[in-house]
Amino acid sequence: MRADMKQLSRVASAQESAYNLPYSLPDFVKHLMEKPTSRLAADPKAMAAACALSVGQAALRVERMDVATEMFRTVLRDHPQPEYAYYVDQARAGMDAVAREVQAAAHTTVPTLIPISSTASTLRNSTPVSFND
């Protein structure tokens, strides 16, 4: 899923860079190269954001916090435009979920520590045990 999302992002970036050429073109050519309206064609950049969110949520479910964080950050970094606000909001919610999961894991996996000094004095003061019994 991660590789598919990255491929889709590369295609979306390539399409975006085709619209932002460094040289001037005649108006009729610019019109031909304009982005299609969203009602007539899919937006590859929106698809990449949705895919990244899906990968992030899947990673979160299987407790792969590193992948989940990477995917949510990708959306936050690559989609600052207002038309992608929904995806950015979802990515922020995903980052919050990762933070909650990490915090919950930190509270449940605290090991119990036994001070060495009290154990050592208890062992020295106890009666010897025989293995012959």
pLDDT tens digits, one per residue of 5-60: 777 777 777 665 545 555 566 666 666 666 555 555 678 888 889 999 999 999 99
Instruction: Please check whether residue 21 lies inside any domain of the structure.
Output: yes
Expressed as residue numbers, the domain containing 61 is: 2-117
Is 105 a domain residue?
yes
Torsion of CA 75, 78, 80, 84, to 10 degrees: -60
In a domain, 40, yes or no: yes
> Is residue 124 domain-resident?
no
Residue 85 lies in a domain: yes
- Please give the biggest Cα pair distance in the chain: 100
pTM: 0.59
The number of domains in the chain is 1
Residue 90 · residue 75 · CB < 8 Å: yes
The answer to whether 60 and 68 are in contact (CB under 8 A) is yes
Q: Is residue 6 part of a domain?
A: yes
pLDDT in tens, 77-120: 999 999 999 999 999 999 999 999 988 887 775 556 666 665 45
Query: Is residue 125 in a domain?
Result: no
Domain assignment of residue 130, yes or no: no
